[in-house]
Structures are given as C-alpha cells and as structure tokens.
Structure 1
Amino acid sequence: MAGASIRDVAQHAGVSVGTVSNVLNRPDEVSAESIARVNRAIEALGYVRNDAARKLRAGVSTTVGFVVLNGQNPFFNDVVRGAEDEASRHNIAILYGNTDEDVSREKLYLDLFEEQQVRGVLISPYGDILPRLERLRSRGIAAVLVDRFGGSSRFSSVSVDSVAGGRMAVEHLIETGRRRIAFVGGPFDIRQVNDRLAGARVAAENAGEHVEIEVVATAAMTVDEGAAAGARIVSRPRHEWPDALFAANDLIALGLLQSLVVGGRMLVPDEIAIIGFDDIAFAGAAAVPLSSMRQPSGMIGRTALRILLEETADPEHIPRQTVFQPELVVRRSTDPAPRRAH
C-alpha cells in the first residue's frame, strides 16, 4: 500500500494511533502482543516512518516552554509541578513564563520560546491564541492548550469541565437553602470565567424555583479583587445582600472571606455561604474552611506534557481533547443556612 500513514497502520492492526506511536517511539510502554500486531501491519502495508518530519518537529531541544495565565494562583503552580514531574522522566526541562493575564507578556514569552526553538509549548492562554500557535507549528514547534478546552481546533487540549463545575457549585448552594447567589469573578476575557458563570446559570434555571444569579465583576482573579468585591457587597443595604457567593477561583473566594469574616462584617456561613474553584491548599486552612470545586491540577500538567511529547515524536499525531471532571469539596463555608424564625 503506497503512502500508508500511521492511521492506516492503526486501523490494520486494530489498535489506536497512540499505540502505534508508542510502538515506534516508546516500545517499553506497550505490550508484546501490541508490538507484534503493529509490526505485522507495518510490514503488510509497507509503512515507512517519516523521520525527517519527526526530527523537524522534535528537533534536538531538551526544553519545553510553559506559559501560564496567573503565576500567583497556586493552582497553576501545581499544574506546572505535574508537568515538571513528567518531564523529568524524559530528561526534559521546563521553561516557565507567567503572563499575569496580559496579552503583551503572553506574546513576549511565545516569541522567546520560538527563538529558542523549544521542543514544544504548553500554554494556558489569555485570549485568542490559535493563530499564534499555528505559526509555532509551522516552525516545527508543537503546542498543547492547558486548562482550556480546544473544541474542534487543530490543537490538543487538557482541561476541566468548568461549565459542569459551575453548575455543581450552584446546585450545592441551592441544596443548602441559598436562593440569592452572586457570581464573583472576571475578567470575562478568560474562557474559564465565562464557563463557570454559564454553569451557574444552568443550575439556577434547573432549580425549579426562583433562584437569582447576579454578577459581581472583578478586574482580576486575585485575593485583593475578591476583598474589594466583598467590601462593595456589604456596603449595600442589608436587604440587598446575596445569601451566597460563588467565586470564579479560590483566590477571589479567600479575598471575600478576608473582607467578610476578618473584618467582622458578616457571619460565614450563617449569613452568607462562599464556594470557590480550584481547591488550592490554602482553601482548607482558611479562617472559615472554604468549600471549592477541586481540579486535578497535577494530573492536568502530567497529561499535557505526555500529549506534547507524543505530538513532537509523531507529526501525524491526531489532536485530542482531554477533559477532566471537577469534584465538589464541601467544607464549613457552605454549611446549610440556618432556619429563620417566622
């Protein structure tokens, strides 16, 4: 069969494309039976490995660039650590860049990684990054989106279902008796913020009873912005206070706690419940232990690095979207609302 591709080999052998790639590049990770099936298919089809393209893609670099959205967020530190743990198994070093939600800094790091001809790039993007990643690919540098669903794009991605997470968070608040819920987060240029709000609205619509979702926007996903949002909320007349807050991430949630609890302005959870997103290490150690939607941060990093190495080793690798499900972690900040005397 002239011009047989790796997909043809996989179909003939009755295995996945990833298995064929492992047989060609990491046979120690594949069973003897799979190796035999793939080798028979290669012989039958006359498949010739495209080493020139593979070398163009992989190069000789032993470094991978990792661009994160917010280096202040311990969630991203844990994701990078997961990638580093996996990279060390392959004698690869991670070059790390923090964009701090700034498009110009994002461009700066990508330009640097392109100049350095890194083996590949992992990126948690701020805006529309796909045209820039296409340019990297044309230079033989593979890229994988991290903490961002790639949809039907030509790039692999590793993410968490933020819409499901937002829905689960608000469903939990509703179950504890809350009905006036404020979503606190921003900026809305960040896809995850929009997805978590969308999930919150789905939960409210599905509640079968009147549940309000208001939006309290923040300029960034930081503790300071959360504290400022909390101050704005308690400056309202008391009858306009929400009875629950769903923060777009744990840093915002911790800022809300700082403003509402440490300042002695409001009782959490008696007067107001708070839930965050990420379940960073500080969440359980907060003044009021914080409920949160847990993301498998280390696994996200390890998986993204594995996929990136598969793509640098195999130019015909088919992009895939890996989506993890978040887990609800319940702590004291969302204890059930107390019954009010009538």
Structure 2
Amino acid sequence: MTTNFLTVAIPYVNAEPHLGYAYELVLADIHARASRLDGAATWFLGGTDDYSLKNVLAAEDAGVPVREFVDAHAKRFEALRGPLDLSFDDFIRTSVDPRHIPAVRRLWATAAENGDLYKQPYSGDYCVGCERFYAPDELDDDRCPEHLRPVERVEEENWFFRLSRYQDQLIDIIDSDSLRITPAPFRNEVLAFLQSGLDDISVSRSNERARGWGVPVPDDPSQVIYVWFGALTNYISSLDYGTSADGQYRRWWNEADERCHVIGKGILRFHAVYWPAFLLAAGEPLPTHIRVHPYLTLGQLKLSKSTGTSVDPSHIASTYGT
C-alpha cells in the first residue's frame, strides 16, 4: 500500500486565525481526502508555532503572560478543525508537545556533529513579522517587502548553519525533481535563488532579545534556537523523531512514498532551501513534494494577521459552509 505524509505550515499564534490560513487548510484537506480515497495510507498533520518573537510582542501588547496568550490563541487555531471539517490525524503545538523539543535538539546536535554550526557576531536588518533577516537589496525603502513595515537593525552573536555547503546538492535535487516544487514558477524561483549563491544563515537568537521564549541552544544559555529551525522540525517531531519510540517516523517519513508540504508562497524559501539543507546535514530523507499556493488578497494586499486584513474563517464557514 502507498504511504503518504501530508502537512500544512504551522502558523504563529500572535493573532486570530484568518481566511488565508483556512484556505491552506482546506486545500491540504482535499489532498488528504483524495489520497485516502485513492487507497493510500495517509497521515495529515497540522499544528501551531508557539515559539516566536511575534507571539511574545503580541502578548506584551495585550498585557498578559506569554504562556497564557499563546495557549489561548493556539486553541482558536485548533478549533478550526470543527467548522472546516478538517481530517487531521495529528495536531502539534511546539511549546507544549513533549515530542517536539527532543527532536529539535537531536536535529541541532546532528548538525553540530557534522561541523555545520559555528558561532560569530552578526548584524542585519530583521523583520519580526517574517522572523528573518533581509539583505539590503531585498528591502523596499527600508521596509519588509512582505509586511511593508520598517525592519529592525540587529547586532548580536549567533550560531550559524553552513547553508552554503549544500548549494550544489540542493540544485541537483530540485533540478532533477527528486524534490518536486509545484506549480512550476515556484520551482524556477527556488532554482534561481540557489544559483545566485547561498550564504550561511543565522539559526539562533539571543536569549535576551527572545525574552527567554524558545528552545535553548544546547550548552549555550545565551541563545535560543531560531524559530524556523524549530518550527520546520515539527514535521518530524510529530512522528517521534528524536525519541526511542520512532516507529511513526520510520513509517510516515523515512519509508513513506510521498512526504508533501502544502504551504503559502511567502515561506517557500524556508521549506525548499533551509529545511532540505537541515535534513541533508542530519542524513535524513527530504520531502518529495512541496505544493505552493498564492495569497488571498484584498486591494492587492494579502489577507493576514500582520496587515490587519484578517477575515474570520469560522464565521465564513458557519455562514456559507466549507
């Protein structure tokens, strides 16, 4: 029997769920149901990304403790299972699920053992909304091109991952369609980015700037692991990667016929470049397929929590159906 593992991206819980996220959930749910109807053993995963500076700042703005804020908002995301009639087989929260931190630490330790991590001072322009650094030529009048907000100049010492080491290997994998990226324009976008040359990337943040909210870097209390390094690991932490009970991991990831991520175009680079590189460093199988969808927009702006153009998907579903 064919075995398929299917995921959606896990969202930050800094605000209410919005219609664009529900769109992704429904697209992926259709894929999961079709896979099951086709006779494939299928595992469909959702979750929330609790460890984010965005979540911390939103909690501070609301005047409540981060834990209280994150728990309350995560429940609203998980509650979409009902009105959207989602067929999730599992749902993971990165800050409370006991499977998650051991998996993140294992992936980190493997990269360290492989010589792929080093520490150095760094300065750059950071967008809290994207949780990433931008090069000067990527900015639009010193603003994040995604959120249209001014970036923050950050100077600190971080751990770096040797992404540049995997450039040629990633090009070969994507060019050969060993990792399929669809629709084709997004595949071309990733190849163009890879062929322009990869720089190593920061994979930790200062514990002080993160307000102590995150997975601590092993043996370095001054740092927490970069939210995206941890968030991407949810796909395998949910399958007990990093624990002795890893039968789920063998079945649904290591030996699966398809390992498919359904994502929005704004996080393509994280899934098609960074995540495969982390897995290559660990000697683990890569995703087989990344299905990318465009944004839902209003007045040429994407519907999102960050831009304040959110539409309540539960209300839409109760009014018009899924």
TM-score with structure 1 setting the length? 0.27
- Richer in strand (by share): 2
**TM-score normalized by the length of structure 2:** 0.28
Structure with larger Rg: 1
Which structure shows the higher helix fraction? 1
